[in-house]
């Protein structure tokens, strides 16, 4: 009997034990933050402030969804911040030249695909850790952005784009709806589609996935392309909100996105991820920042608090590794390394 690697992965994920403490950590932390801030401020739970939290977290959430795919597949993308600025500038330059919003958005999407493709191909061709590859491409993205924009903001966008900056369908800022749409797409791809199972198998045990017939190199490249597309969406969204492109935006998004993904419960070494938990990780970071603003905490102390959030994220990863309920072994489908009965080759997905 020949096992199907995707079916085996799905079955393994359903039966994987999860430590109760790990599952409850982020929700409990979020509830505690809400209780403390509600008691210490007068406006935290007001409708206006809740919308403010959702609006401020939207860009980070969008890039974090893309980062989740990369980390789940065993990779790492430090170029996301640089990409956001680059794609935003590209969108603005095209819109300014053509006065066509659709062409600008399309140009940003194309550069997102190409940059993600560059990251993925360099990782699989050079066999160098993605940390180093994407650190280099992040510098390249920053340089290209400054060259393309002359180190200045890019204006002259079509007047109709102003509606995207202030639009509030059903009373909710449009950028929040954009975040919801990106989340729904990401959730489907990672948790429902066979692609998500291939990503988790690749991140869990690359060699076992290869022996099972999974196209691990293609999966790795695709995760970087997805991250590039989400960075393009974020860059275009920032350009629309500001009605201009700023070549210096996105400087810390790569760090915040990694912190959100790991804080949310994804394994930094790959093989385990959840979009819901990434969303919670982003929400925790945004609530902390919003609460500090409401309490009148200065920028210097806010930087200290954010640094502690990063340490907390890394500590959560360490605690998961030391948990009494060990993380299950990377998925090795029953047919791994065994020839397909009909074709004499490993089953391919």
How confident is the model over 197-208, as a mean pLDDT? Answer: 92
78-82, 98-102, 133-137, 163-167: the lowest-pLDDT one: 163-167
Is 341 inside any structural domain?
Answer: no
**Does the pLDDT value for residue 325 go beyond 80?**
no
* pLDDT value, residue 224: 97
Confidence of residue 331 (pLDDT cuts 50, 70, 90): very low
Compute the mean pLDDT over every residue in the chain, rounded to the nearest whole number.
84
Q: At CA 166, angle to CA 292 and CA 58, rounded to 5?
A: 45
Give the bridge partners for 154, in sequence order: 245
**Does the pLDDT value for residue 332 go beyond 70?**
no
How confident is the model over 190-206, as a mean pLDDT? Answer: 92
CA atoms within 13 A on the CB side of 179: 25
Q: What percent of the chain has pLDDT over 70?
A: 83
Is 11 inside any structural domain?
Answer: no
59-68, 123-132, 188-197, 242-251: the lowest-pLDDT one: 242-251
**Does the pLDDT value for residue 344 go beyond 70?**
no
* pLDDT value, residue 4: 54
**Does the pLDDT value for residue 345 go beyond 50?**
no
How confident is the model over 285-306, as a mean pLDDT? Answer: 86
* pLDDT value, residue 296: 87
* pLDDT value, residue 349: 39
What's the number of domains the chain is made of?
A: 1
* pLDDT value, residue 168: 84
- Find the domain containing 92 and state its range: 20-321
How confident is the model over 212-240, as a mean pLDDT? Answer: 94
Q: With b meaning 16 or more CB within 10 Å and e meaning fewer, what string describes 120-143?
A: bbbbbeeeeebeebbbebbeebbe
* pLDDT value, residue 7: 52
* pLDDT value, residue 243: 87
**Does the pLDDT value for residue 317 go beyond 60?**
yes
Is 7 inside any structural domain?
Answer: no
* pLDDT value, residue 300: 81
In this structure, what CATH number is given to the domain that contains residue 237?
Answer: 1.10.3470
Q: At CA 178, angle to CA 47 and CA 296, rounded to 5?
A: 40
Confidence of residue 252 (pLDDT cuts 50, 70, 90): confident
**Does the pLDDT value for residue 66 go beyond 60?**
yes
Is 344 inside any structural domain?
Answer: no
Is 52 inside any structural domain?
Answer: yes
Tens of pLDDT, residues 226-239 = 999 999 999 999 99
Greater confidence (249 vs 15) lies with 249
Is 127 inside any structural domain?
Answer: yes
* pLDDT value, residue 123: 94
Q: Is 157 left (phi over 0), alpha (psi -120 to 50) or beta?
A: beta
Is 8 inside any structural domain?
Answer: no
* pLDDT value, residue 347: 40
- Which residues have a Cβ under 8 Å from the Cβ of 237 and sit 6 or more positions away? 58, 59, 62, 175, 178
Q: With b meaning 16 or more CB within 10 Å and e meaning fewer, what string describes 44-74?
A: beeeebeebbbbbbbbbbbbbbbbbbbbbbb
* pLDDT value, residue 328: 42
């Amino acid at each position: 009997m020949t096992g199907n690697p995707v079916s085996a992965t799905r079955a393994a994920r359903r039966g994987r034990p999860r430590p109760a403490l790990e599952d409850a950590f982020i929700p409990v932390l979020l509830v505690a933050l809400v209780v403390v801030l509600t008691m210490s401020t007068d406006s935290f739970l007001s409708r206006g402030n809740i919308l403010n939290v959702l609006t401020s977290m939207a860009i980070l959430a969008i890039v974090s969804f893309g980062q989740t795919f990369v980390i789940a597949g065993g990779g790492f993308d430090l170029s996301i911040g640089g990409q956001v600025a680059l794609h935003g500038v590209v969108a603005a330059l095209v819109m300014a030249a053509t006065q066509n919003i659709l062409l600008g958005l399309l140009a940003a999407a194309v550069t997102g695909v190409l940059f993600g493709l560059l990251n993925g191909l360099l990782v699989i061709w050079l066999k160098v850790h993605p940390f180093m590859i994407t650190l280099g491409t992040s510098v390249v993205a920053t340089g290209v952005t400054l060259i393309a924009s002359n180190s200045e903001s890019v204006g002259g966008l079509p007047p109709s784009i102003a509606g995207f900056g202030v639009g509030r369908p059903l009373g909710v800022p449009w950028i929040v709806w954009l975040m919801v749409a990106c989340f729904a797409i990401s959730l489907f791809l990672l948790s429902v589609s066979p692609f998500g199972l291939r990503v988790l198998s690749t991140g869990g045990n690359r060699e076992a996935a290869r022996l099972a017939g999974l196209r691990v190199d293609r999966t790795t490249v695709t995760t970087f392309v997805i991250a590039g597309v989400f960075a393009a969406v974020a860059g275009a969204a920032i350009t629309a909100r500001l009605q201009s492109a700023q070549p210096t935006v996105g400087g810390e998004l790569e760090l915040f996105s990694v912190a959100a993904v790991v804080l949310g419960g994804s394994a930094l070494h790959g093989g385990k991820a959840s979009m819901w938990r990434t969303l919670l990780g982003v929400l925790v970071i945004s609530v902390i920042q919003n609460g500090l603003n409401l309490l009148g905490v200065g920028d210097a102390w806010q930087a200290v608090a954010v640094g502690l959030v990063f340490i907390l994220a890394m500590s959560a990863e360490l605690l998961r590794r030391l948990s009494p309920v060990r993380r299950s072994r990377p998925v090795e489908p029953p047919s791994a390394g065994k020839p397909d009965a009909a074709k004499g080759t490993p089953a391919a997905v």
